[in-house]
Amino acid sequence: MDAFRVRGGVPLQGTIEVGGAKNAALPILAAALLIPGRTFLRRVPHLRDVETMRRVLEGLGARGGYTDHCFEVDATDLAGHEAPWDLVRTMRASIYVLGPLLARFGRARVALPGGCAWGPRPVDLHIKGMEALGAQVSLEHGDILAVAPPGGLRGAHLAFDVSSVGATGNVMMAACLAKGETVIENAAREPDIVALADFLNAAGARIEGQGTTTVRIRGVASLHSTEFENIPDRIELGTYLAAAAITGGEVTLEKARPDHCGIVLDRLRDMGAQVLVEADCIHLRASERLRAIDVTTQVYPGFPTDLQAQFMALLSVAEGSGLVTETIYPDRFTHVPELRRLGADIQLKNNVAAVRGVAALSGAHVTSTDIRASSALVLAALAAKGESWIHRVYHIDRGYERIEVRLAGIGADIVRESVSGP
Ligand code: UD1
């Protein structure tokens, strides 16, 4: 099993090109199932989760693969409408095939995704959304079985009581081929949803309002082959900016969408980093010790839960104390005991972590628990005195493309090692 060995204390310096967004690529690849033709998606990151989605699509009879960062899917002839448990259990985003399969075949069977390391992650809104479009949904042997009414899905007016990226995307995909108009109220506004809608429109869908809380989808008879460029990954970007900030470094992130990460840049400035934006480049310099701030996760355009752990790593070495409040996933704190191993001073009560900055962290053995928690451990290790080992980095490979190579490229002392044991 792979681990990272990190020797901390080197200020990072250099330039990184931001990769394509994982959380936009996954639903777009699932949406390719709606198209009886070919999809060319550029700027797809090479990640374990993308490979899992490729295997899910392949299991359904679509052909697909990468050339460089371009992903081609041919879903002209699909073989089935059942996404099996062995793949779905490894990646919650597999639930994204539910809407496309239901719309295209009139039925779908998708294994119920499991909970995550940081607590339960329900799919009730996905199910309610499909039911609103007229589908009968039941749970059978651990699978979600959805069946469209005779004549196919029907447009509907639905309002989510919680803003959900996944449920918004799933209903949007299903509604593309439904009869009549669907209106989603309290729709998620994340850039990933906008990218998905833009992709579907490029394939002939009629979606309006993406990026606002009211999305309107007028059903069309079919979608057609298309090409699309994925958006840059604002979470990867935030992670690399945090890496520069925690080491007192200076980096430039190229091919970014600064408009997708305004609040993250503001929080970094609040902590004392100098952040400059020029067209699609973001430049960060951290010449002094960071100052503590309070961070509260919110739906977009609020502070992303997917950067909560990384900012907790920053607060661990900042001057003063700050509160980290998690409102999206109240249990998402598996990184706290691991950061403590590195010397962080964190007190956790319910969904609020009180972090008191320490003068220095010290290297230790720590274990990854999920994608973003692992990247927070990498950041903390980059700042720690001495050597750290981060184990089970397969979690990080799910969401970051060759993170150790890219960090080493801007001066980090980090290497991947194969270690025995868990
Ligand atoms: C997506 C992202 C994930 C990110 C999350 C929140 C992908 C592949 N993953 O996950 O990285 O952390 O958005 O920004 O894009 N909820 C329900 N019922 C449902 C669905 C969700 O109650 O059926 C709740 C969740 O428990 C959570 C909130 O809604 O409290 C938001 O979750 P959601 O936006 O759906 O997250 P995902 O789409 O799973």
Q: Which residues are catalytic?
A: 116
| Residue closest by Cα to atom 25 of ligand 1 | 121
Residue 310 beta carbon below 6 angstroms from any ligand 1 atom:
no
Tokens of 289: 């010790």
Q: Model confidence over 97-155: pLDDT tens digits?
A: 999 999 999 999 998 886 555 556 789 999 999 999 999 999 888 889 999 999 999 99
Same domain, 389 and 292: yes
Q: Which atom of ligand 1 is nearest to the CA of 306?
A: 12
User: Residue 153 sits in a domain of what CATH number?
Assistant: 3.65.10.10
Same domain, 254 and 166: no
Q: Which atom of ligand 1 is nearest to the CA of 26?
A: 8
Same domain, 41 and 10: no
- Test site for ligand 1: of 92, 328, 332, 398, most ligand atoms within 8 A of the Cβ: 328
Q: Could you tell me which residues are beta bridge partners of residue 385?
A: 362
Query: Which residue, of 179, 205, 229, is where some domain finishes?
Result: 229
**Containing H/E element for 52?**
helix 48-59
Residue 167 beta carbon below 6 angstroms from any ligand 1 atom:
yes
pTM for the predicted model, two decimal places:
0.97
Same domain, 257 and 309: yes
Look at residues 200, 236, 234, 204 and name the one whose alpha carbon lies nearest to residue 372. Answer: 236
Same domain, 55 and 173: yes
Q: Which residues contact 182 (CB under 8 A, 6 or more apart)?
A: 133, 155, 156, 157, 158, 171, 175, 216, 217, 219
Q: Which of 89-93, 322-326, 397-401 has the lowest mean pLDDT?
A: 89-93
Centre of ligand 1 from the C-alpha of residue 213, in Å: 16
The mean pLDDT value for 353-365 works out to 98
Residue 165 beta carbon below 6 angstroms from any ligand 1 atom:
yes
Q: Which domain holds residue 351?
A: 2-19+232-418
b or e along 196-208 (b: 16 or more beta carbons within 10 Å of the residue's beta carbon)? bbbbbbebbbebe
When divided into structural domains, the chain yields a total of 2
| Residue closest by Cα to atom 2 of ligand 1 | 23
8 with 384: CB under 8 angstroms? yes
Look at residues 87, 97, 78, 74 and name the one whose alpha carbon lies nearest to residue 27. Answer: 97
- Test site for ligand 1: of 29, 165, 186, most ligand atoms within 8 A of the Cβ: 165
Cα first-last separation, the chain: 7
Same domain, 299 and 224: no
Where does the pLDDT of residue 81 fall: very low under 50, low under 70, confident under 90, or very high at 90 and above?
confident
Same domain, 248 and 262: yes
- Tell me what pLDDT residue 64 has: 86
Where does the pLDDT of residue 83 fall: very low under 50, low under 70, confident under 90, or very high at 90 and above?
confident
Q: Which atom of ligand 1 is nearest to the CA of 126?
A: 23
Query: Which residue, of 203, 229, 255, is where some domain finishes?
Result: 229
Centre of ligand 1 from the C-alpha of residue 360, in Å: 34
Same domain, 108 and 33: yes
SS3 call for 378: helix
The mean pLDDT value for 366-395 works out to 96
Residue 309 beta carbon below 6 angstroms from any ligand 1 atom:
no
Query: Which residue, of 195, 229, 263, is where some domain finishes?
Result: 229
Q: Which atom of ligand 1 is nearest to the CA of 329?
A: 30
Look at residues 190, 268, 263 and name the one whose alpha carbon lies nearest to residue 231. Answer: 190
2-7: strand order across its sheet? 365-367, 387-391, 2-7, 413-418
Q: Which residues contact 405 (CB under 8 A, 6 or more apart)?
A: none
- Tell me what pLDDT residue 120 has: 60
Tell me how far apart the alpha carbons of residues 250 and 240 are, in angstroms, rounded to a whole number. 11
- Tell me what pLDDT residue 86 has: 81
Same domain, 268 and 344: yes
Residue 93 beta carbon below 6 angstroms from any ligand 1 atom:
yes
Same domain, 350 and 401: yes
Residue 305 beta carbon below 6 angstroms from any ligand 1 atom:
yes
Q: Which atom of ligand 1 is nearest to the CA of 372?
A: 11
- Tell me what pLDDT residue 156 has: 98
Tokens of 5: 């060995």
The mean pLDDT value for 319-329 works out to 97
Same domain, 244 and 215: no
Query: Side chain identity at 155, as an amino acid letter?
Result: G
Same domain, 159 and 241: no
